[in-house]
Structure 1
Amino acid sequence: MHRIFAFFQKILRPYHGSVKFKNIISQSIREIGLWYGPKTYEIYGLAKLSILCFLGTNLTQIIALIMARDDTKRIFAYFSVLSFCTMGFLKLWSLFRKEKRWRSIINQASSLENEQLNNSYTPYEYESDEESDYGFSKYIDSYTKNFFLISTRLFQIYIFTAIVYMVSPFLEHGIYLYTGQPINSIPHILPGWYPLDRYTFAYIVTIFVEMLAALYCVKVHIAFDLTVIGLMIFIRGQFSCLHDYSELIGGKGKSCDISKRRDERALYRIKNCHRIHVLLIKTNHELNELIRNILGIYFFVATFTLCSVAMQLSWEQVSVMQLTSLLQYMGATLTQLFLFCHYGNAVLNESCVGQGRGPSCATIWCLSVKVRREIAILCVGMSRCYRLNAGPFNLLNLPSFIQIIRTAYSYYALLRQTTK
């Protein structure tokens, strides 16, 4: 019993006190029972019960969806919840089955940060022209604080949505009892096929299973979303840091005389910029391979879900609690979709460096012709943009988000016109 209460306490607590990019991600993944030990594919004991409840409720939802094939309203109501739970299962499967790849990309990012924060003195990184050592730490602190803020807000939004969703059926049932309105069935947290509702003990156990499954599903979404968003924030922040660092390849340029020592320092910085750039490209490619299929499915499901919510909102008989549940569910879906598209768009914009930024702004007048040639090659290499994909057809950017919103709104407007 103590472990059960400890598990629920871990589920409901917000993030606090952590300033490490890797720690925030690791904490969220461990809270769903994964990556606890050094062994791959190891699952925490109590999480197995949560996963079993989660899969069981998904199965009952599928059965209920099949049984309601002649009832359009019930089909749309079931589909909205089932799609959210199905995406949770796909995210859980990705974190579990591809644990080695996820760990590799996270450790790779963390190693780069540690190297930049603990960079030792090199004979080429000397002070010249009143130039001090370049501070990687301020960039790392900046995007880590941004990630910490996003993780806290995302946690609060998801948990608030989960609480409202779990409480609303029972609150609506109580209002019906108080006002004397007819009641068709007893309340459930998750819609599904429940043949044992006539037994009190079985109903109580079912509600407990639904509550555990709903909370675990939300935590899976939090863990996966924070992992993906955190890596996108890392890539964007490191690209921005790299562009500013590459501007200092030749120093501040206050001394115009060409020296061998300054050329050696410039060549060292060029090699360092190239190494970091290649590492970021590799990280972006590996992340894209891990998320493109899941987010491609999610884009389709999110579009269909928003359209189904729009159809339910167009119905004349929608109770206050149903309206509240639909609106907060739609808000959570849009928030999740916007964060993916926003930071995917940020990676796209920061990955390429144009004229007037990066190595093209280096003080080449105090460097030799050979070093200038190397800077020109570096400029060409850093001028390419790198994208994140959501399936085979969509890009992870803001235009894709706007297109989904337009599709859902057009569908809602069409339904409103046809019902008049």
Structure 2
Amino acid sequence: MGNKILKNLEDKDHPSLGPTLYGLKLWGMWQPKRGFISFIYNLVHISAIIFVFSQYVELWIIRSDLEAALRNLSITMLSSVCVVKAGTFVLWQKHWKYIFDYVSSLENNEINKNETVTCKTIKEYIAYSRKVTYVYWCLVTATVFGVIIAPVASFISSTNGEQMNNNCSKGYPEIMSSWVPFDKTRGIGYLAMILEQTLICFYGGGIVANYDSNAVVLMSFFFGQLKLLKLNCERAFEESSGVDSHEYINEIRKCHEHHSNLVKYSKILNSLLSPVMFLYVIICSLMICASAVQLTTSGTSSMQQIRITEYLLALIAQLFIYCWHSNEVSLMSLSVDEGVYASAWWCQNTRVKRNVLLLMGKVRRNIIFTAGPFTSLSVPTFIAVLKGSYSYYTLLSKKEN
């Protein structure tokens, strides 16, 4: 049953992007056709932005209560990133389409050649991207349900009857902290707030899951294509001199064009991801710090600790997948020239050797994705963010003491 559902997500026209394009369409970010449905989706996106503003209003109201403010902040910051991801994707549809068309057309052309090494390489990175996508979707789904269920479970798990009565007198638990222009602690107002916040949780989870998995799939594509380019450079020349040098020059030209296109479209992808990731890297440091403070605050129940721990792990995983895959693309881009050097360039004539030298200089270009103009998405950046979050946490802990 599960395999059948996953198979239905595949798209022959988009070998790598089938499941992610389906998810992006389902959550209204990818809108290739404008119409009434896209209008409804855009209304949903605008409603989500309004909800985020209500979270900031509530944060201002409860600013004197540190524990409540941190709880609000940890969710509100992530909500802000969600609406930025959705908004930028919708606004920059044209540029995303350039990338999607290039990725799919290149893969289809290479698959149609039915060349063993090429098809094997493409299948490998597609299989890897599928595993990461589905595991990440499961992680986000578990986090969403954890955020929804944990407050109620924590409320019910209060074994002390007096504590339960005190909780009831203050109002029933809410999934996330947001302002509404009516009484949200009782009756219809409470039910309306819970319904709204539940829908927002599913909306935000879908945005995060599909946006991030789409970015990972595209990074895996660039990694796989750079690996394929390296193999093609290695196989470009044969030791036997029976082949005309013009054919070798033509192979060099193909490798050069392949690399130029990868650099071009990786720049477009980076221009789309970089502003969002710049915001996320800054916010992620604050969110990890806020979650750590909540986790170590005295009086936090076991259910709340479980929820915060799961949320904290999801934050770290979300940043890690970007930094790891960007780092892998960077390392592979710097190793492409090794394929040129490993080829039988030494047995060619002077003209071919000159072109080989130019190709080697061309392909040794670092392709890495950035978080704004200040830092790159890499493993060292991931470690630096964790260290920074820990520094903020120790600072807050000292102030509390």
TM-score in terms of structure 2 length? 0.90
**Structure 2 spans left out of the alignment, 5+ residues:** none
1:75 and 2:69 correspond:
yes
Kept in 1: contact 2:230–2:336 (CA 8 A): no
Q: Do the aligned residues in 2 keep the contact of 1:310 with 1:411 (CA within 8 Å)?
A: no
**Aligned-partner SS, 2:17:** helix
Question: Among the aligned pairs, what percent are the same residue?
Answer: 23
Alignment-derived partner of residue 251 in structure 2: 269
For the pair 1:383 / 2:364, whether they are aligned, the reply is yes
- 216-225 vs 264-273, which moves further: 264-273
Which of 357, 377, 385 aligns to 1:404? It is 385
1:152 maps to which of 131, 134, 151: 134
Deviation at 1:414, TM superposition (A): 4.8
Moved more, 23-32 or 195-204: 195-204
Alignment of 1:158-177 (within 5 A): 158-176=140-158
Q: Equivalents in 1 of 2:357, 2:62: separation in Å? A: 65
Provide the aligned C-alpha RMSD in A.
2.3
Q: TM-score, normalised by structure 1?
A: 0.86
Q: Equivalent residue of 2:158, what SS? A: helix
Query: Equivalents in 1 of 2:189, 2:45: separation in Å?
Result: 20
Letter in 2 for 1:170: V
The answer to whether 1:248 aligns with 2:239 is no
2:57 corresponds in structure 1 to: 63
Deviations 1:180-236 (A, max 9, x none): 412022122221124332552232222111111110011011121112111111111
One-letter identity of the residue aligned with 1:236: F
Residue 119 of structure 2 is aligned with which of 137, 156, 180? 137
Amino acid at match of 1:391: G
The residue that corresponds to 2:215 in the other structure is: 228
Contact 2:226/2:336, CA 8 A, preserved across alignment:
no
User: Are positions 1:187 and 2:169 aligned together?
Assistant: no
Match 1:332 to one of 294, 309, 314? 314
Distance 1:71 1:394 in 2: 34
SS in 1 for 2:27: coil
Shift of 1:173: 1.8
User: Per-residue deviation at 1:135?
Assistant: 2.5
Partner of 2:281: 299
Give 1:277 shift.
Answer: 0.2
User: CA deviation digits over 1:124-149, x for unaligned, max 9?
Assistant: xxxxxxxxx56211111000000000
1:20-43 CA-partner distances (Å, limit 9, x unpaired)? 21212211201202334433x875
Distance 1:346 1:44 in 2: 36
Answer whether contact 1:61 1:191 (CA < 8 A) is retained. Answer: yes
Q: Quote the residue 2:299 is aligned against.
A: 317
Letter matched to residue 190 of structure 1: M
Cα distance in 1 between the residues matched to 2:276 and 2:326: 15
* Shift of residue 107, structure 1, vs aligned partner: 1.0
CA distance in 2: counterparts of 1:80 and 1:417, whole angstroms = 20
Shift of 1:16: 4.8
Equivalent AA in structure 2 for residue 234 of structure 1? F
Amino acid at match of 1:23: G
Paired AA for residue 204 in structure 2: C
Structure 1 stretches lacking a partner, 5+ long = 1-12, 121-132
The AA in structure 2 aligned to 1:210 is Q
Which residue identity is paired with 2:209?
A: I
Match among 85, 97, 104 for residue 79 of structure 2:
85
Separation in structure 2 between the aligned mates of residue 416 and residue 69 of structure 1, nearest angstrom: 18
Task: Please state if 1:38 is matched with 2:33.
Answer: yes
Q: Is the 8 A contact 2:17 2:214 kept in 1?
A: no
